[in-house]
Chains A and B, each alone.
Chain A
C-alpha cells in the first residue's frame, strides 16, 4: 500500500497569544500532569475542571447582556423587555442586569458640565444623583435580583447612590446582591480614566471593600475586570496575568487594611474576555481557576474554599468583531460564547452583532440572548462537566498558560521595589511601563491584521465591496437636553443647606483618612450630585498625593 504523504501548509501554527501548537498531542505531552494535584474533580482543589461539582447540570450560567443608554427610564424599559425574553437572568431565574453608565458619569461630571457636552446618555445611562438611581432601579427587585454596575471613574460614589436608592425604595443594604467594578488599576490602564492619583483611587477602592465586607454580605465589592485589557492590546495570557496581578494586589491591600483574607476574598469576582481562539480561551479559564486557587491557598493562606474560587463573568470580545459584513459577528459571538462555556464560566454576555456600528438595536440584543439559549439548551454541551478536560491538547495548553502567567506575575512584581505585586503595579502604572506594554500589544495586533498573519474574515480576507448595513440605533439628542434641564430643576428644588452640610462631613472624613462610604451614602441621600462629591476627592486627594505627603494606604 502506498504511504500517504502529508505536509503542513504553514511553518508554524500559533494561538493568538503566540503559543506554538504541535501537529498532534499525545499522552506523552501530559504525562507529567498529575490528575489529582493539577486537574482534580470539578468542585475540588485546584478547581481546574470547574468551581462546582455539577456545574451547568445543576445551574446554568447567568445570562447578562450589558446595556444602558439615554436615560434611566429608557434603560429600565429596555432591560424589562430583555428579561421577558429570558435574557437578563441569574442562576435561579432571578433578574440580573449589567448597568453601563454614560461617559460623563464615568468621568465624575454631572450632565450639565460643559465637558459633558455631546455625551449625556450616549454610551450608557446618565446618573447625576440618587433620584436617577431610584428611577433606574424602582421596578427591579433589588433584594432578589443581581445588579452588576460597571463604573470606571467613580465607583464609590455610584455605589453610595445605589445604597441610598435602595434604602429609599425600602430595601436594607444588607440584602443587596450584585457587584461593582471598583478596579482602579483597570480604569487607569484600560479605560484610561485617571481622575485621582492611583494611590487615592486605591484608598477609595479599599474603603468600598471594607464597607461591603462589614455591611453588605451579598455584594461583590471588587469585580476584577481584566476584560478591557484585550481590546486595549494585550493578548489572552497577558490579560490573565495582569488580571491576577491586580487581584493579588487588592488582596494584599485588603490584608494591609486589617481584613482577614477569608473575610473578603470569597466575594471578589472576576470579569474576563472571551476571544475567538477557541482552544486558547477554553484553556485560559481552566488555568485561571487553578492558578487563583493555588495563590489563595499557598500565598495568602486562605482556609475557606470559597476564597479560592475564580468566579468569572465572561463578556465576549467585540474587538474580534468587524464593522464589515456585520452579520458574521453573530457567528463569532457563538464561537466565543461556546469557548467560554467549555471554559466553565459563571456568567456570560455576548455582545450584539451591530456593536461595531454603534449602540445595539433591540433586535440585535434579542439575537445575542438567543445565541446563549441555543448553546445552553440545544447544543448538548452542558450535559457533562468540563467535556474537553482530558484532551491531550487542552491539558497541555492549560499547563502552558499557567507557566506563562506565573512568569507574567513575576514580571509585574519586579517593576516595584518592595517585593509585592501591589508595589509592582503601582510602580508600573506610575512609570508608564504597563500602559506602554498595552499600547505595544495594540500595535502588534494591528500589524498582524494588516500583514495577514492573523485572518479576520471580511476585513483582511474575503472582503466584499457591498456590506450589509443594519439599522443603527440612535439616541435622541433631545433626551440629553431634557436630562440637563431636569438636573437644573433638581438642583433648584433640593435643600442646599443639607447639601452643604453633607459635603462638609464628606470632606472632613476624607481629610482625616476615614472610610468615605458612610458620609457618601449620607451625601447621596442629601441630594449631593456625583460631581459635587467627586470634587471633594479631587480637592483633598490631588493635594495630598501630588505633594508626596501621603502613602497610598
Chain B
C-alpha cells in the first residue's frame, strides 16, 4: 500500500511586523482542512524561510504581508529558492496587497495572491488544486 503524507505548508511573515492574525487564521484553516502547518511566525528573513522550507521539506510556502513590503520581500525569497535549487516549492501570499500589485507578484513567480478579505476556503481550495496529492512516503 502506498502511504501518503499530509500536504506540508510553511506559514510565516517576513520583516519587522506584529500583524499575526492573518497568518494564524490561515494556519488554522489549513490544519482544519487536514494539512500540516509549519508555523514560523513573525519577523523572519527570506533566508530563514528558505532554510526552514528546505530542511522541513515543505510542499508550499505562504507568506503574510501587512506592511507593504511584499514585492521586495517575495522577490528576494523567490531568488533565494532558485539559488538553493528549491524553486519547485510554490509560494503564495496574502495580506494588505493592492490589486495593481497582483500581476506584478504573479510575474515574479508568486503562484497565488490572496488579499485581505479572501475567504479561507478559497486558499484551501487553491492549495488542494496546486498540490493534488500528498507526497509518497
Binary CB contact string for chain A from 136 to 151 against chain B (1 if under 8 A, 0 otherwise): 0000000000000000
Interface hub of B18, B24, B69, B120 (most chain A Cβ within 10 A): B18
**CA A324 to CA B28, docked complex, whole Å:** 24
Segment touching A, from B51-59, B81-89, B92-100, B129-137: B92-100
CB proximity to B under 8 Å, residues A110-124: 114-119, 122-123
Q: Say yes or no: is A232 at the interface (Cβ < 8 Å to chain B).
A: yes
State in angstroms the CA–CA spacing of A233 and B18 once bound together.
Answer: 13
Contact present for B24 and A439 (CB under 8 Å): yes
Chain A's closest residue to B70 (CB) is A118
CA distance A118 to B46 in the complex (A): 11
Chain A 77-107, CB-CB to B under 8 Å as 1, else 0, gives 0000000000000000000000000011011
In the complex, A357→B96 CA distance in Å?
Answer: 6
User: How far does the alpha carbon of A495 sit from the alpha carbon of B98 in the complex, in Å?
Assistant: 45
**8 Å CB interface, A498-531 against B:** none
Interface string of B57-92 (1 = CB under 8 A from A): 000000000011100110000000000000000000
Partner pick for A450 among B20, B72, B120, CB 8 A cutoff: B120
Contact A323 B15 (CB under 8 A): no
Smallest CB gap from A469: residue in B: B99
Cβ distance B24 to chain A, nearest Cβ, rounded Å: 6
Chain A residues, Cβ within 8 Å of B115: 323
Q: Does A459 contact B (CB under 8 A)?
A: yes
Q: How far is the CA of A443 from the CA of B29 in the complex (A)?
A: 9
B96 touches A119 (CB 8 A): no
Minimum Cβ distance to chain A for residue B79 (Å): 14
Any B CB within 8 A of the CB of A454: no
Distance in angstroms from B133 CB to nearest chain A CB is 27
- The answer to whether B116 touches A119 (Cβ under 8 A) is no
A174 CB to closest chain B CB (Å) equals 34
Chain B residues, CB < 8 A from A19: none
Total A-B pairs in contact (CB under 8 Å)?
Answer: 80
A448 to chain B, nearest CB (A): 12
A interface, size bucket = 35 or more
Q: Is the CB of B21 within 8 A of A119?
A: no
Q: Report Cα–Cα, A123/B45, bound state, in Å.
A: 18
Q: Distance in Å from the Cβ of B69 to the closest Cβ of chain A?
A: 4
Contacts of A467 in B (CB 8 A): 99
Q: Which residue of A lies closest to B69 (CB)?
A: A118
A322 touches B117 (CB 8 A): yes
A103 to B68, CA, bound (A): 12
Contact A442 B25 (CB under 8 A): yes
Residue B3 at the chain A interface, CB threshold 8 Å = no
Partner of A469 from the list B42, B72, B98 (CB cut-off 8 Å) is B98
Assembled-state Cα–Cα distance A114/B43 (Å): 12
Separation of A356 and B89 alpha carbons in the complex (Å): 29
Is the CB–CB distance between A118 and B18 below 8 Å? no
A28 → chain B closest CB, angstroms: 41
Contact yes or no, A443 B16, CB < 8 A: no
B34 in the interface (beta carbon within 8 A): no
Say yes or no: B96 contacts A122, CB within 8 Å: no
What 0/1 pattern do residues 214 to 238 of A give for CB contact below 8 A with B? 0000000000000000011100000
Beyond A443-B28, A450-B121, A472-B100, whether A233 also contacts B21 by CB under 8 A is: yes
Q: Find chain A residues with CB under 8 A from B25 CB.
A: 442-443, 446
| Contact status A118-B20, CB under 8 Å | no
Q: A115-B45, A439-B24, A442-B24 are in contact. Are A122 and B67 (CB under 8 A)?
A: yes
Question: Counting CB contacts under 8 A, is B103 at the interface?
Answer: no
Residues from chain A with a CB closer than 8 A to the CB of B73 are: 118
| B73, closest chain A residue (CB) | A118
Q: Nearest Cβ distance between residue A409 and chain B, in whole angstroms?
A: 25
Q: Does A208 contact B (CB under 8 A)?
A: no
CA distance A357 to B72 in the complex (A): 17
> Which residue from chain B places its CB closest to the CB of A187 in the assembled complex?
B18
Q: Which B residues lie within 8 Å of A104 (CB)?
A: 16
Chain A residues whose CB sits within 8 angstroms of the CB of B24 once the complex forms? 439, 442-443
Given contacts A106-B16, A192-B18, A357 and B98 within 8 Å (CB-CB): yes
Cβ of B17 under 8 Å from chain A = yes
Q: Which residues of B contact A323 (CB under 8 A)?
A: 96, 115-117
Per the bound structure, the CA–CA distance linking A356 and B22 in Å amounts to: 14
Q: Is A185 an interface residue (CB 8 A)?
A: no
* Cβ–Cβ contact B98 & A358, under 8 A: yes
Distance in angstroms from A114 CB to nearest chain B CB is 8
Contact flag A103-B28 (CB < 8 Å), given A323-B117, A450-B119: no
In the docked arrangement, what's the CA distance between A117 and B99, Å?
24
A450 and B100 alpha carbons, distance in the complex (Å):
25
User: Which residues of B come within 8 Å of A, CB atoms?
Assistant: 14-18, 20-21, 24-25, 28, 42-43, 45, 67-69, 72-73, 96, 98-100, 115-117, 119-121
Sampled A-B contacts (18; CB under 8 Å): A106-B16, A107-B43, A109-B16, A118-B14, A118-B69, A192-B18, A232-B21, A323-B117, A324-B117, A359-B68, A439-B21, A439-B24, A442-B25, A443-B24, A446-B120, A450-B119, A459-B117, A460-B119
A-side residues, CB < 8 A to B, are 103-104, 106-107, 109, 114-119, 122-123, 152, 190-193, 231-233, 322-324, 356-359, 439, 442-443, 446, 450, 459-460, 467, 469, 472, 474-475, 477
Knowing that A116-B16, A323-B117 are A-B contacts, what are 13 other residue pairs whose CB atoms are under 8 Å apart, sorted by A's residue number? Answer: A103-B15, A103-B17, A103-B67, A118-B15, A122-B69, A192-B42, A231-B21, A324-B117, A356-B96, A356-B116, A357-B96, A450-B121, A472-B98
What 4 A-B pairs come out closest when comparing CB atoms? A192-B18, A118-B69, A103-B16, A191-B18
